[in-house]
Amino acid sequence: MAYHKYKVGQLVNFSPSRPGMPTAAGQYEVVRQLPAESGEFQYRVKSKGETFERMARESELSRRASP
């Protein structure tokens, strides 16, 4: 059984795979884990610099380096 790689509250980097998609720089927080779609887990993530959440596929996220 597969498991989500990232946990709610975890800080991640978000690199959208859709070219030209504007995103806020900096860290994103995982707000919610979503079910897999097309064999890949999805997440709701939020940047502190934005007032809305984004949907991200697991392949678009990476772990933040520890300070």
- Which pLDDT score is estimated for 66? 62
Residue for token pair 């709610």: 8
Task: Write down the pTM of the prediction.
Answer: 0.86
Is 80 exceeded by the pLDDT of residue 1? no
- Which pLDDT score is estimated for 43? 98
- Cβ neighbourhood burial of 14 (10 Å; 0-12, 13-18, 19+): buried
- Which pLDDT score is estimated for 4? 96
| pLDDT per residue as tens digits for the range 13-66 | 998 887 777 787 779 999 999 999 999 999 999 999 899 999 999 999 999 876
DSSP-assigned states of every residue in 2-44: ---SS-TT-EEEE--SSTT----SS-EEEEEEEEEETTEEEEE
